[in-house]
Structure 1
Amino acid sequence: MKKIASFTIDHIRLKPGIYVSRKDHVNGSVITTFDIRMTSPNDEPVMNTAEVHTIEHLGATFLRNHENWKDRVIYFGPMGCRTGFYLLLAGDYSSHDIVPLMKEMFSFMASYEGEIPGASAKDCGNYLDMNLPMAKYMARRFLTEVLTDIQDSRLYYPE
């Protein structure tokens, strides 16, 4: 079998950042998949499921309510390896295009207070597996260490 595109990225050299993972053409439209890489693969501990789950709930809620982007959001969810998230947007975008959106989203998550959206037995299949303090820490870390002064090396996959 042919390797899928995401398995051809050098994960040894990959650092936290925002990368275009792929662009698909569906019925004449482009769908851009972003790799929102929050931790350095195979180099530092992966995120625990509780903070990943919390970031998923906060991020998806933020994106699907964003005045300018909500109609372009197809999906926001975790990578199986727990080193980051995928964001799928309707449209042909570069990593540079979504930096302001990511800064806004991670600022929202880093300062979030209150009940986690959708964190109830009625709304979620695993609502007890949440960790807001750790999700806020991870969001703040990504915001300050990566997004605040993001360099091109964190916007394009390593060659």
Structure 2
Amino acid sequence: MNVESFNLDHRFVDAPYIRVADVKKLPHGDILTKYDVRFCQPNVDHLDMATIHSIEHTFAELSRNHSDAVIDFSPMGCQTGFYLLMAGEHSDDEIHSLVAQTLADLIDADEVPAANEVQCGWGANHSLDGAKQAARAMLDQRHSWAQVMKA
């Protein structure tokens, strides 16, 4: 299939993990790398929408404090994780560090950035507590982020 994640057998992954989902070389030589930042085991668990929304806002804002290469951070429709789009190619250690630093910042956050009706299309639908809980759970499993498939 044309969509990379549709070719991934979700029954055999072992979340949480971070993996390269796609690398594109653009016509003028620029490289984009898309990372699958999976918080929950597919078809077993998922994040609720208010938690996802708050992680999306907070991670998108705070990750840019650690890297100028961040292009986008978007939720997966299946509610099990996010796609992190980066300019260029990066080592696993660099991406894991970026994600860990940003999740630590999220845990320390006092508010969700832009969680209001002026800056957001559904400003009332946020859960900073849920986002912090999910960030802690993800960070607690950092040692397993490189292991994508079940052993």
Map of 1:135 onto structure 2: 131
- CA apart distance, 1:106: 1.1
Q: Which runs of 5+ in 1 are unaligned?
A: none
- CA apart distance, 1:3: 4.0
SS where residue 50 of structure 1 aligns? helix
- The alignment yields a C-alpha RMSD, in angstroms, of 1.7
How far apart are the structure 2 equivalents of 1:106 and 1:41?
A: 21
Map of 1:36 onto structure 2: 37
How far apart are the structure 2 equivalents of 1:24 and 1:111?
A: 34
Q: Which runs of 5+ in 2 are unaligned?
A: none
Structure 1 residue corresponding to 2:87, chosen from 85, 90, 115: 90
- Structure 1 window deviating more from structure 2 (122-131 vs 101-110): it is 101-110
- CA apart distance, 1:10: 1.2
**AA matched with 2:51:** E
Percent identity of paired positions between Structure 1 and Structure 2? 35
How far apart are the structure 2 equivalents of 1:152 and 1:85?
A: 16
How far apart are the structure 2 equivalents of 1:150 and 1:47?
A: 19
Map of 1:7 onto structure 2: 6
- CA apart distance, 1:87: 0.4
CA contact (8 A) 1:58 1:109 kept: yes
CA contact (8 A) 2:32 2:89 kept: yes
**AA matched with 1:24:** K
- CA apart distance, 1:158: 6.4
- CA apart distance, 1:151: 5.7
- CA apart distance, 1:39: 0.2
Runs of 4+ in 1 over 3 A off after TM superposition: none
How far apart are the structure 2 equivalents of 1:63 and 1:151?
A: 18
SS where residue 104 of structure 1 aligns? helix
Aligned length: 149
| Post-superposition CA distance 1:81-131 (Å, at most 9, x none) | 110000000011243331111111111112322x31101111111000001
How far apart are the structure 1 equivalents of 2:34 and 2:113?
A: 24
State yes or no: 1:153 paired with 2:141. Answer: no
| Post-superposition CA distance 1:51-105 (Å, at most 9, x none) | 0000001000111233xx1x21111110111100000000112433311111111
Q: TM-score, normalised by structure 1?
A: 0.86
Map of 2:114 onto structure 1: 118
